[in-house]
Structure 1
Amino acid sequence: MYLGQDASGIQVMDQWNSQNRVRRRTIYWHPHCSGLSNDANAFSVIEW
């Protein structure tokens, strides 16, 4: 779930199988980890 964005990246609520709870995290514009799921430039926001 998209929460917002700033100069460092986008803030989301996310969860995956090995994580038992939903947590807030920043996905950075210039990622520290590899993979598209860690690169804010790979995401789009769709306004409803």
Structure 2
Amino acid sequence: MSLFDGLKFLTSKSTKVVCPQCKASTEQISAKVRKNATLVCPKCGALFRVNDK
């Protein structure tokens, strides 16, 4: 990983996502959502991906 790759997370914007289990809305880093990374709901602890159906 280069220095510039590390800095992308500092400058990336956030987006709202909704947990499929508890319906809590949270702000997540847009880069994680675009890469379809597994996210953790801060309210209920559920693991999910935004693009999973």
**TM-score between the two structures when normalised by the length of structure 1:** 0.34
Higher percent of residues as helix: 2
Higher percent of residues as strand: 1
User: Which has more radius of gyration?
Assistant: 2
